[in-house]
Amino acid sequence: MFRYATGAAFIDSAGAVLGADPGFRAALGLPAEDTSGALRALAEKDAALRGLLRGDGPPAIRVAGRDGAVELERHPAESGAVLLVRSARLQERLEHALRSAALSRLMAGMAHDIKNPLNAMALQLALLSEKLGPRDASAPHLGALRDQVGRVNDVVRRFMDVTDPAAPLGYTELGALVADVGALFGHEARRRRIQLVLEPPRGVVRIAGDPARVGSLVLVLLAAAMAAAPDGGRVEGGVDLEDGQAVLRLVHAVADEERETGYDMEVIAGAAGALGGSLTGQREEGVARMTLRLPRSERP
């Protein structure tokens, strides 16, 4: 399976670095002035790295990098070797991204397939109600069925607006998007007794960018907040305009600082950056605060 690298370097048969790209140096925290010497200094403290440089150890090892563990992989060449470096979690993140993309497409298709029968059921119920009349004994039951079909239809509509939105005018209204995403988490909030409070913006907040990617980003961000919040807790959110940017703020208590929620904030921040925005967060005294900033649409 092909595995992406974040940087590469070429070493000679003695393990000296002949050339390294910025990604390689950044991942290992090596200076540009004396990359070879700095790498040898690291190898003096790490037997596995010494073996990798000499070529008499495993072809791939894990070492401490500048921002955490990284993987180093050696590929022999005619007069030395190529070293590839990647984040230790890069492959996991890529696989997660592929799964997410596939599931989004699958769920969007399922939503369309569910919506069509629901519309047909609503039409048949309307015809039955018209034939039987309001005084028929079954009229209240038909009305209850019609209400439930409408409720399911509304949930499907919200889901489709988030995962497969239509944006013919070239922008997404962030306040409406956050409201739809919040409604999709209504069941989980009730089940876990979480107060989910999403304040509407004071005005229209339009954002530029791919509507589907924006919807997925907001969905994952709120899901991460819900996953980290304790049962019986509270998740608050609000949308506003600030310094020419659309801003979404989320605040919630943290159930356990060490608990693994399954949401990698670095990946979410990377997705925000790819849309031209940013994601910042901080935790203080058991409270997490996340701020998502996205480019504002200039369209009227």
Q: Which residues, other chains included, contact 171 with Cβ-Cβ below 8 Å and sequence gap of 6+? A: 206, 207, 208, 297, 299
Q: What is the pLDDT of residue 292?
A: 95
pTM over 0.75: no
Q: What is the pLDDT of residue 235?
A: 95
**Tens digit of each residue's pLDDT (9 = 90 or more) over 112-149:** 778 788 888 888 888 888 888 878 888 888 888 988 88
Q: Which residues, other chains included, contact 34 with Cβ-Cβ below 8 Å and sequence gap of 6+? A: none
Summary mean pLDDT of the chain: 84
pLDDT at 236 over 90: yes
**Tens digit of each residue's pLDDT (9 = 90 or more) over 138-194:** 888 888 898 888 888 888 878 777 776 766 667 889 999 999 999 889 889 999 999
What is the per-residue DSSP string for 3-38?
Answer: ---SEEEEEETTS-EEEE-HHHHHHHT--STTHHHH
Whether the Cβ atoms of residue 233 and residue 253 lie closer than 8 Å to each other: yes
pLDDT above 90 as % of the chain: 27
Q: What is the pLDDT of residue 250?
A: 96
pLDDT at 97 over 70: no
- pLDDT range class, residue 239, cuts 50, 70, 90: very high
* More confident position, 295 or 134: 295
CATH class of 167-300: alpha beta
Fold topology of 90-164? Helix Hairpins (1.10.287)
- pLDDT range class, residue 1, cuts 50, 70, 90: very low
CATH class of 7-88: alpha beta
pLDDT at 91 over 80: no
Query: In which element (H, E) is residue 191 found?
Result: helix 186-191
Whether the Cβ atoms of residue 267 and residue 138 lie closer than 8 Å to each other: no
- pLDDT range class, residue 104, cuts 50, 70, 90: low
For the chain, what are the domain ranges?
7-88, 90-164, 167-300
Q: What is the pLDDT of residue 258?
A: 64
Q: How many CA atoms lie within 13 A of 33 on its CB side?
A: 0
Q: What is the pLDDT of residue 2?
A: 40
107 alpha-carbon distance from chain centroid: 16
Mean pLDDT lowest for which of 102-111, 271-280, 287-296?
102-111
* More confident position, 113 or 80: 80
pLDDT at 279 over 70: yes
**Tens digit of each residue's pLDDT (9 = 90 or more) over 20-47:** 999 899 888 899 889 999 999 999 999 9
pLDDT above 70 as % of the chain: 86
